[in-house]
Structure 1
Amino acid sequence: MPQSTQPNTRQAALWNDASGKAWVEMQPILDGVLAPFESLVVDAGYPGEGGNVLDIGCGAGATTLAMARRVGNDGRCVGIDISQPLVALATERARVQEVANASFKVGDAQAYAFESRHFDAVVSRFGVMFFDDPVAAFINIRQAARPGGKLAFVAWRSPAENDFMTTAARAAAPFLPPAPVPNPDAPGQFAFADGAKVKRILEASGWSSIKLEQADLPCQIAEGDLMTYATRLGPVGAALREVDRATAEKITTALPAAFAPFVEDGKARFNAASWLVTARA
């Protein structure tokens, strides 16, 4: 629900600067890594041909474009993201790919003034874990859905269940100051790891028929892209932008050996552990 103070200011700053720019530059790599989840979300959230769909945290637009194709020319899919660089890229991709029924907005879904009761479905591929106030966000999102409309999103489970995704941080840790203990309630990649917490958030924001399923999907990345992935994203990417050259060299030297157990025949393969969450408005 819209608030008197601007929410998510830290996330807005992050995704309109270094993180957003990195995701723009790495869009082909990241879409390849996350492709299995695109299909999962589109299948779970598909409202039928001609439906209107909202994609929360749409990023560079892969899921929005896929859903727009799925609902057909009589339907529409709108993607919203807090990152202007990513929305600009998504808009250009829709133009180049001639997906006329996909459009994109720069905005914060926690407070955006959506048209009330408009969307037949709301979907998200790893875009809902970054709200300062997730209950307020999901109230606002629910008000954009028609009564009975679908909600379908994926969110990461715990770091312990996603060892590939935490490999870079573990390898870099000996060369960096001790990291603060993560706050499980703070916005972030693993903020929805606790399934019971996710259910409480959705119940408190008025969603019904809530269902959480473990979705463990095999993912892969080309070995040639692996170090770009490891050094540009997440806490290691942030650290490498700040540390001195000697420390950066120590970290980048340690990373290939840390990822070696995942690599075979030119690809790094890993299991990605997420929740597939569905509900009704």
Structure 2
Amino acid sequence: MTSTLSVDPANAEQARAWDGDEGTYWAEHAELFDEALRSYRTRFLTATAVGAGQRVLDIGCGTGETTREAARRAVGGRALGVDLSAPMLRVARRRAAAEHLDHAAFLQADAQRHPFPAQSFDVAISRTGTMFFGDPVAAFRNIARALRPGGRLVQLVWQAPTRNEWFGAFTHALAAGRTLPTPPPEAPGPFSLADPDRTRALLAEAGFTDPGFEALQAPMCFGPDADRAYDFVRGLLGWMLDDLDDTHRDRALAALRATVETHEGPDGVAYASATWLVTATAV
């Protein structure tokens, strides 16, 4: 983590990961991560309804694909992508510069506490980035403060693990027969906003109204073929193998290889997935 990054203590662990090895891995595999969510792209962007002249805040922007998409639509306006990860933001800046998107900017900051100018954005968006807040009420309240009255929040979050085949397949393979501990459903992580009732309550407490939830289902692609998908997922989730001996490690990797081969098809290695498209309005 860089010395200039001010992080809420509740987000310290996330900052260490995203501004460290995990963020570096995402930066190095930006195209695969973006491709994995490609099936949600059109619906998500349509829901943001970004138009000419608007000011857009992209929370957890990663390597900047959604920020760049917003900037293309916000002609005469601006799009600011915010993330904890310096490695991913370097990729984001490079790609925006290559496209001459001068009104797209990127900031390494903790959106939970960063002092955005009040009422300075028309819409806040996030593609699978809001589930990692240590204190989601504080984070959503800070985002609401940055939006003008009537400004919109549009976020894509995962539905429950049982609705996401990819999660079950990979964790089962890499468990190698172990019973892995299940994190509390409200802990920061991919599924912390999977319960609409909880998310609705968090948004209301933070100052948002009119929450809407649209259930989406789409294939999630992890690579163009089994070899690429195997290498990608192994690198992404290899930490799950750290406490295994050689025999169980080989067993886990064989199981991972088997599941990606089973899911290989003409469009790559695809698994079923499910998200919520969540919308809300700032008071």
CA offset at residue 251 of structure 1?
2.0
Aligned to 1:119: 121
CA offset at residue 167 of structure 1?
1.1
Aligned to 2:204: 203
Q: 2:51 aligns with which of 34, 48, 51?
A: 48
What SS does structure 2 have at the residue aligned with 1:11?
helix
Task: Map 1:238-277; keep pairs closer than 5 Å.
Answer: 238-240=239-241, 243=244, 246-265=247-266, 267-277=268-278
CA offset at residue 88 of structure 1?
1.4
Return the alpha-carbon distance in structure 1 between the equivalents of residues 152 and 11 of structure 2: 25
Return the alpha-carbon distance in structure 1 between the equivalents of residues 8 and 60 of structure 2: 21
What SS does structure 2 have at the residue aligned with 1:155?
strand
Coordinate RMSD, CA, aligned? 1.9
CA offset at residue 211 of structure 1?
0.5
Task: Check the 8 A contact 1:153/1:278 in 2, yes or no.
Answer: yes
What SS does structure 2 have at the residue aligned with 1:30?
helix
> Structure 1 residues 37 and 265, CA, compared in 2 at 3 Å: closer, same or farther?
closer
TM-score by length of 2: 0.91
CA offset at residue 19 of structure 1?
1.0
Aligned to 2:26: 23
Return the alpha-carbon distance in structure 2 between the equivalents of residues 238 and 95 of structure 1: 34
CA offset at residue 267 of structure 1?
1.6
Matched, 1:187 2:188: yes
Task: Map 1:97-246; keep pairs closer than 5 Å.
Answer: 97-174=99-176, 176=178, 178-220=179-221, 221-223=223-225, 224-233=227-236, 236-240=237-241, 243=244, 246=247
Query: Aligned residues, how many?
Result: 275
In the TM superposition, what whole-angstrom CA distance separates every residue of 1:214-250 from its partner, at most 9, and x where no partner exists?
A: 01123333114211232122xx332245655554333
Matched, 1:32 2:21: no
Return the alpha-carbon distance in structure 1 between the equivalents of residues 103 and 130 of structure 2: 23
Return the alpha-carbon distance in structure 2 between the equivalents of residues 5 and 49 of structure 1: 34
Moved more, 51-60 or 264-273: 264-273
Return the alpha-carbon distance in structure 1 between the equivalents of residues 128 and 241 of structure 2: 24
> Structure 2: which amino acid aligns with 1:144?
A
TM-score by length of 1: 0.92
Task: Check the 8 A contact 2:211/2:278 in 1, yes or no.
Answer: yes
Task: Check the 8 A contact 1:175/1:250 in 2, yes or no.
Answer: no
Gapped runs of 5+ residues in structure 2?
Answer: 1-5
CA offset at residue 20 of structure 1?
0.4
Gapped runs of 5+ residues in structure 1?
Answer: none
CA offset at residue 4 of structure 1?
10
Task: Check the 8 A contact 2:158/2:276 in 1, yes or no.
Answer: yes
> Structure 1: which amino acid aligns with 2:276?
W
> Structure 1 residues 134 and 5, CA, compared in 2 at 3 Å: closer, same or farther?
closer
> Structure 2: which amino acid aligns with 1:140?
N
Return the alpha-carbon distance in structure 1 between the equivalents of residues 205 and 102 of structure 2: 36
Task: Check the 8 A contact 1:45/1:123 in 2, yes or no.
Answer: yes
Aligned to 1:66: 69
CA offset at residue 254 of structure 1?
1.7
> Structure 1 residues 137 and 257, CA, compared in 2 at 3 Å: closer, same or farther?
same
Task: Map 1:83-98; keep pairs closer than 5 Å.
Answer: 83-98=85-100
What SS does structure 2 have at the residue aligned with 1:10?
helix
Aligned to 1:9: 12
> Structure 1 residues 243 and 83, CA, compared in 2 at 3 Å: closer, same or farther?
farther
Return the alpha-carbon distance in structure 1 between the equivalents of residues 7 and 182 of structure 2: 30
Task: Check the 8 A contact 2:176/2:248 in 1, yes or no.
Answer: no
What SS does structure 1 have at the residue aligned with 2:37?
helix
What SS does structure 1 have at the residue aligned with 2:230?
helix
Moved more, 246-255 or 271-280: 246-255
Task: Check the 8 A contact 1:118/1:146 in 2, yes or no.
Answer: yes
Return the alpha-carbon distance in structure 2 between the equivalents of residues 70 and 200 of structure 1: 31
